[in-house]
Amino acid sequence: MLAEQTLLFLDIQGVLSIPNQPVAQPYAQDVAAPWGAVRGSKELISAIAWAEWIAPLWISSFGSQALLWNDWAKTQRWAIAYPLSDQQSAQAAAAFPSAKQDAKCLAARWCSRRWPHRIVWIEDGFSAIAKAWAAENPKLQLVSTCPFEARSSSDRTGLAEWNIEKIRAALSLDALIPVDP
């Protein structure tokens, strides 16, 4: 069975990068690793890049600096969904007035407005506006890497044992992604 076409919005801070988290094991042997990169981030980016059914976009405050993560993982660079240009922000706010108080949600709604298939958004916590959008849009799946929001007993934010299977399932990925407990 073929995986369903999926538009992916992937955040960095709080998902792939957890600087100063004491239990996170960074890529100590990889001097090229972006700051705060946690175990599994490179493998996840690579698995997403190889998955022909996934159309990935960065939705990160890193903006164009997100492309460094593709360079590090040696994958094709992905499009940047956030931040939107001023012109796009104005158009998006006019099209989705209920989302204009949340710039990331506004960007996700704008960038997915013509996408007819599944949408997966991986983030370290979602606003009430994003959750309301998910409640009204059955194509949208939000995957939180915040243990409190996901009601996990773990204290580990970002890629971790408690959430990696949910991420793999949401993206229909077979590849094993090594992560910390």
Choose between 181 and 171: higher pLDDT.
171
User: Residue 18 — pLDDT band, cuts 50, 70, 90?
Assistant: confident
Dist CA 107 CA 26 (whole Å): 30
- Has residue 111 been placed in a domain? yes
Look up the domain containing 92 and give its range: 6-162
Amino acid at 71: D
Contacts of 21 (CB under 8 A, 6+ apart): 38, 156, 157, 158
Choose between 59 and 31: higher pLDDT.
59
> Which tens digit of pLDDT belongs to each residue from 68-120?
999 999 999 999 999 999 999 999 999 999 999 999 999 999 999 999 999 99
Considering its fold, how many domains does the chain have in total? 1
Task: Please give the mean pLDDT across all residues of the chain.
Answer: 93
Q: Is the alpha carbon torsion for 52, 57, 143, 13 positive or negative? A: positive
Q: pTM of the entire structure?
A: 0.94
Question: CATH number of the domain that 107 lies in?
Answer: 3.40.50
